[in-house]
Chain A
Amino acid sequence: MAQIENEIRQLKDEVVNMWTLVRSQLQKAKSAILNFDKDLAREVVVREKRVNSYELKIDRDCENMFALRTPVAIDLRFVLAILKINNNLERIGDIAEGISKLVIYSENPFSEELLVRSNVLDMLDVSFSILDDALASFENENTILARSIFKRDEFLNEINIGLVDFTKEYLDEHPEEITELLYIFSIIRKVERIGDQVKNIAEEIIFYVEAKVLKHHYKKE
């Protein structure tokens, strides 16, 4: 096996590890919302430093690949894609941290009705599902799976679009929950951005495997 293949394998493993960590951060953020678990939310904030360390390590490894291995063709596309996926994953880590901080700031737990009617938990579940599928498509170079992510990202966008109407409606019915509602409002805005990040990751996977640039064009496809 060529040396560069070993290094690409190692780089891929590092990204998968970072992916798993970010996934677990997001899962904990969801549990923190659901159970109003501030300790768990604090754990996410503390562990965000590990996500950042991963990002720096992967950046440095990509830099070394360029400097020492001068990758070309699929190897070049792989390293370019990794640089961007790394950045997208780190942003998802930031979002998990941001959600957790909102749980910490909230004085009262979120009512079951608020959680159900706002769809925030469904949105988080869709985020997990596309994040997991993006990981599987990355590991198996499966671009059909990567393409399936675009459609599901639109579900997150739709909920986000209806957010202002929902907020007005819910506020009319439950003015006493205004603070919690505003926190959930902010959380939904953040979860919507996870969809954008995962969509970017899917585009990078397609670029790496098929050498096609879908950025700004995936709807046409």
Chain B
Amino acid sequence: MESTIIKTVNYNSYFGDNHVVKSVNIEIPRNNVIAIMGPSGCGKTTFLRGINRMHELIPGAHAEGQVLLNGEDVMVLHPIMVRLKIGMVFQRPNPFPNLSIYDNVIAGYKLNGIKLPKAERDQIVEESLTKVALWNEVKDSLNKKGTFLSGGQQQRLCIARAVAMQPEVLLFDEPTSALDPISTATVEDLFIELKNNYTLIIVTHNMQQAARVSNRTAFFYMGELVEFDETNQMFTNPKDKRTQNYITGRFS
């Protein structure tokens, strides 16, 4: 039996009076890749950003209900602690432009004032870059700027930066939508690898990507979680008519 790492209980989020995510109850099993899909404006990104309390950074936004990480309510934890446990990677690769590759990977520690001996820092950088299959490509140019890399490499650098903090969960908001097909394939292969050590939750507009990389898929529509099931089940025999209409391209 898989253990649950993230569980939400009647989770709602709002932008002012606008009720964007409606009473979502979901249990996410550990060491899985979860895809979240749905049409634009369905609340999937807002839901994702609620998991590590990024949502509340937006003025006027608030959330209700519970998000449990290993049974602990993240709403009562310190947001920084939450984000150390639940890392995030965004749509566009966003390495710090003025930092080297090395410093980008270790940036989470520096920004949080965590001082480590050089040997330990070196080890974290090497391990993190190895985990994202970037080490062999950049080991001789660690002092070059992160922006020197290609788009796909930059995105893997951003994943390494998140991985360096040793999180339990990684959130991805359309992580390959700015990448070419080759870089996308590399990042998708990486998801499968990362699953061994982390739980990945990926918001994607690309249904084939959801089908390729995830074990389970959640379908959101108009703020509601309509269906959450094994990915092969969702793509061969979805239970809800709305899911079927969406994945077969029949949504008007």
Contacts and interface: CB of A to CB of B under 8 A. Distances in A.
A2 B249 contact: yes
B250 A2 contact: yes
A61 to B, nearest CB: 18
Contacts of A2: 248-250
A127 B243 CA distance: 39
Interface stretch (A30-38, A49-57, A74-82, A90-98): A74-82
A74 B244 CA distance: 8
Contacts of A76: 235-236
A67 interface: no
A211 B232 CA distance: 13
Contact of B247 (A5, A73, A77, A211): A73
B207 A72 contact: yes
A161 interface: no
B192 interface: no
B236 A72 contact: yes
Nearest to B238: A73
A104 B238 CA distance: 52
Interface in A1-49: 2-5
B236 A73 contact: yes
B136 interface: no
A2 B246 CA distance: 11
Contacts of B18: none
B237 interface: yes
B250 A72 contact: no
A2 B252 CA distance: 9
A4 B235 CA distance: 16
Nearest to A5: B250
Contacts of A3: 249
Q: Which of A72, A75, A77 has the most CB of B within 10 A?
A: A72
A72 B249 CA distance: 10
A71 B236 contact: no
25 contacts: A2-B248, A2-B250, A4-B248, A4-B249, A70-B208, A71-B248, A72-B207, A72-B235, A72-B236, A72-B248, A73-B235, A73-B236, A73-B237, A73-B238, A73-B243, A73-B244, A73-B247, A73-B248, A74-B244, A76-B235, A76-B236, A77-B236, A77-B237, A211-B236, A211-B237
Q: Which 8 A-B pairs have the closest CB atoms?
A: A211-B237, A72-B235, A2-B249, A73-B244, A72-B247, A75-B248, A2-B250, A73-B238
Given A72-B248, A73-B248, A211-B237, 6 more contacts: A3-B249, A72-B211, A73-B236, A74-B248, A76-B235, A211-B236
Interface of B: 207-208, 211, 235-238, 243-244, 247-250
